Each structure stands twice: as structure tokens, then as C-alpha cells.
Amino acid sequence: MKKSILVISLILSSAAFAQTNALKPGLWEVKIVRQVMDGKDMGAQVAAAQAKMQESMARMSPQQRQQIEQMMKGSGVQRQGGAIRMCISAEMAAKNESWNAQQSQCPPTKVTHSGNKVIYEINCTTDGHTMVGRGESVVSGDKVTVHTDMTITDAHGKHAMLNDSEMSYLGADCKGLQPVDQIARKMKAKH
């Protein structure tokens, strides 16, 4: 369930990201600021899982660590502490597309723009999860804040989820990460 929460959060953040006019090519960092599932703050659980992963990485040999880091870079995202970094290509920026738009898994069903604010609705099923709800993204310079309020239905039942995240532009250099659209194309070619 924890992995599903992270994936759902990325989908929701990138759905909002696709609707903004702030998309620049280069490295972006997504941080989950607050996540509440069924009235329970998931921050402590997420932090504990991240700490456990860091401990495991610390016990690995330098070669093993490097192999894990390269594998993650090959997936198009990189964990940096409690954040996830992803590379947006110039092509994606020109089309104003996010990772989610490339995957075409959960596009917003209704979008309203007002100044630097975008309000959107989502109603979709992806990877065995049905998501219904609303979100709002606000652009301020190189930062995008996102708030979502969703109901998620999966094999474990219905769950109410609130998610607040921030996305920050880190610069044009993707620091070795492959753009997510290139990775999506490779994944589609394999299937």
C-alpha cells in the first residue's frame, strides 16, 4: 500500500503539473509536504520507510549502492532524501506535458485556469486504482504547489486521501537523469 500511495501521489502531482504553464526543460524535484489517508497522517510512515531504505543503502558496498542508484536513474526518477527528482525534456516542456501525460493514465477530466491557479478534476482507473476528486495547483516562479483531495478505490476498499506537494525547478542540467518521455517511449517499445 505504501508504494501505491507514492505512485498515486506522483500521478496526482504530475496531473497538476501538466496543467500549469510553468513547465521548463530540465530537472524538477517533487516533495510531498502532507499526505493524509483515511484521516491518518502518513508522514511518519513515509519517513520511517525512507529511513529504513537509507539504512539499507548505508550497509551496502559502494558497488551495490552505485548499481541501485544507476537502476533508479534508468527509471527516470531519482530519490533525493524525501524528494523525487525527474527530468523534463525540451519536447515535453514545449508541449507542456508531464510524466503523467506521457503515460496517458489519468488525465484531468475538467480544467479551469485563473491567473496562476489551475483547478482540475480527476476521474480515472489506473493500475487497479480508481481515483475521483479535485485538485488545485498554483504557480509561483519556479515553484508549483499542488493540493489534491481524492477518493481512491482499490482491492483494499475506499480511501480518502489528501495530498499537498511542491515541485521546484532545479535547473536545465538533469544531472544524468534521462527525460521521462524517453523512458516512456522505451517502455512502450518493449511491450
Summarize pLDDT for 5-26 with one digit per residue, the tens.
444 444 445 444 444 556 788 9
Domain that holds residue 173: 2-190
DSSP, res 179: B
Residues 6+ apart with CB under 8 A from 99: 10, 14, 76, 86, 180, 181, 184
Summarize pLDDT for 39-63 with one digit per residue, the tens.
888 877 777 777 787 788 788 888 8
Distance CA 174, CA 170 (A): 9
Distance CA 69, CA 73 (A): 6
For the chain, how many structural domains are there in total? 1
* pLDDT score for 98: 46
